[in-house]
């Protein structure tokens, strides 16, 4: 089955530290991959996406992700965390017919 796995339900970092949120996908066919962010009491906002082409994808708010086919990974990074980055982050992949399947989410906690 086509799926994505997010390692770590919670990640804690200090303000200014590197953010690394992990996502692995299952499939023999390279998928389209997405990262969404959900701030408290809000809907999902698209951070970035990989479809084809360049494997390093830059998104909003200083986030980026690298598609690594050999590792079936699409990890999300940000060089320096800000307090405003505290939120829930979801990795997702396409499954055909414009549908998406989501990972279980990672809550990012940022301490001063």
**Interface residue list for other proteins (CB under 8 A):** 32, 34, 36, 41-46, 49, 51, 90, 94, 97-105
Rounded least distance, CB 98 to other proteins, Å: 4
Rounded least distance, CB 31 to other proteins, Å: 9
Rounded least distance, CB 29 to other proteins, Å: 13
Instruction: Kindly state the tokens that stand for 17.
Output: 């530290």
Residue pair 62/79 in contact by the 8 Å Cβ criterion: yes
Phi, psi (deg, nearest 5) at residue 97? 55, 35
Cβ closest to other proteins, residue 52 vs residue 112: 52
Cβ closest to other proteins, residue 61 vs residue 104: 104
Rounded least distance, CB 30 to other proteins, Å: 12
Q: How many other C-beta atoms lie within 10 A of the C-beta of residue 8?
A: 14
Instruction: Kindly state the tokens that stand for 5.
Output: 């796995």
Instruction: Kindly state the tokens that stand for 38.
Output: 């959900």
Q: How many other C-beta atoms lie within 10 A of the C-beta of residue 57?
A: 21
């Amino acid at each position: 089955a086509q799926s994505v796995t997010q390692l770590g339900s919670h990640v804690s970092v200090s303000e200014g530290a590197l953010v690394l949120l992990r996502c692995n996908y299952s499939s023999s066919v390279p998928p389209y991959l997405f990262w969404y962010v959900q701030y408290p009491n809000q809907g999902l906002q698209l951070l970035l996406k990989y479809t084809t082409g360049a494997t390093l994808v830059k998104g909003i708010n200083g986030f980026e992700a690298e598609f690594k086919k050999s590792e079936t990974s699409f990890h999300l990074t940000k060089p320096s965390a800000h307090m405003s980055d505290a939120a829930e982050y979801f990795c997702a992949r396409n499954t055909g017919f414009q549908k998406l399947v989501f990972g279980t989410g990672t809550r990012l906690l940022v301490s001063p």
